[in-house]
Amino acid sequence: GIQVEQSPPDLILQEGANSTLRCNFSDSVNNLQWFHQNPWGQLINLFYIPSGTKQNGRLSATTVATERYSLLYISSSQTTDSGVYFCAVERGDYKLSFGAGTTVTVRA
Amino acid sequence: EAGVTQSPTHLIKTRGQQATLRCSPISGHTSVYWYQQALGLGLQFLLWYDEGEERNRGNFPPRFSGRQFPNYSSELNVNALELEDSALYLCASSLNGGYTFGSGTRLTVV
């Protein structure tokens, strides 16, 4: 199956700092999403981004499908940004393959 | 618009019992997907239902099963529960590519 690698596994930030999370995948995909898992376990959809660049407030994402990676940018981080960020990809078989996640801790 | 809803929020069962988890997709979505998030194993695809039929399943034993009803809601049944079935079970629905997840059911097997 397709391999999804996320880096770094853990990230500690001071409030106000910027950061970049990376997702590498081993094969071509037709779907890529970034999720934020809150402390109660719910996966919040951040971006549906199989290619290109999108922005939503302080978050933005870029996927370079031909080079098989995606980046999630967090700017001016806030304590509410803490949690686990997952990258998930799909190859058209209607099942998402998830990375192991990046645990982000933002300190006040 | 209501999101994906799951019930119950928490479920505690004894080893060997059966558990039933429920999911309602976003209105207008015909597909329901089930995922398991067990400690140390990450998020794994379990089952996909569409138009009342099981379309695909992940690498799980047959005691994980389910069904989809005419209103597109779905049940996940786990028979002969084992301790390692303790996990967060997430349901999702999809339209035009993007997946939306519910809040999950946390199953604890004791």
Task: List the structure tokens of A73.
Answer: 């940018």
Confidence of residue B1 (pLDDT cuts 50, 70, 90): low
- In the block, tokens 């990450």 appear at B42
Confidence of residue A93 (pLDDT cuts 50, 70, 90): confident
- Mutation target to probe the B interface, by most B beta carbons within 10 A, among A3, A40, A94 is A94
What is the C-alpha to C-alpha distance for residues A71 and A93, in angstroms, rounded to an integer?
23
- Residue B38: burial class (beta carbons within 10 Å; 0-12, 13-18, 19+): middle
Mean pLDDT on B26-34? 94
Mean pLDDT on A19-25? 98
What is the C-alpha to C-alpha distance for residues A44 and B99, in angstroms, rounded to an integer?
10
pLDDT surpasses 90 at A92: no
Q: Are A47 and A31 in contact (CB under 8 A)?
A: no
Inter-chain residue contact B99 with A88, CB threshold 8 Å: yes
Q: Is A9 left (phi over 0), alpha (psi -120 to 50) or beta?
A: alpha
Confidence of residue A39 (pLDDT cuts 50, 70, 90): confident
Tell me the count of A-B CB pairs closer than 8 A.
Answer: 53
Inter-chain residue contact A45 with B101, CB threshold 8 Å: yes
Task: List the structure tokens of B66.
Answer: 């389910």
Name the residue of chain A whose CA is nearest to B90's CA: A42
- Considering only CB atoms, which residues of chain A are within 8 Å of chain B? 30-31, 33, 35, 40-43, 45, 48, 50, 86, 88, 93-98, 100-101
- Which residues are registered as beta bridge partners of B59? none
Which residues lie closer than 8 Å to B61 by C-beta, 6 or more apart? none
| Cα torsion angle, A71, A73, A78, A80, sign | negative
Query: What does the pLDDT read at residue A102?
Result: 97
State CA B9 to chain mean position distance.
12
Mean pLDDT of chain A: 95
Which residues of chain A lie closer than 8 angstroms to B38, CB-CB?
none
Inter-chain residue contact B56 with A31, CB threshold 8 Å: no
Which tens digit of pLDDT belongs to each residue from B75-106?
A: 999 999 999 999 999 999 987 778 999 999 99
Mean pLDDT on B53-79? 96
Query: What does the pLDDT read at residue B41?
Result: 85
Reference B23, options B82, B85, B108, B99; nearest CA is B99
Mean pLDDT on B51-67? 95
pLDDT surpasses 80 at A36: yes
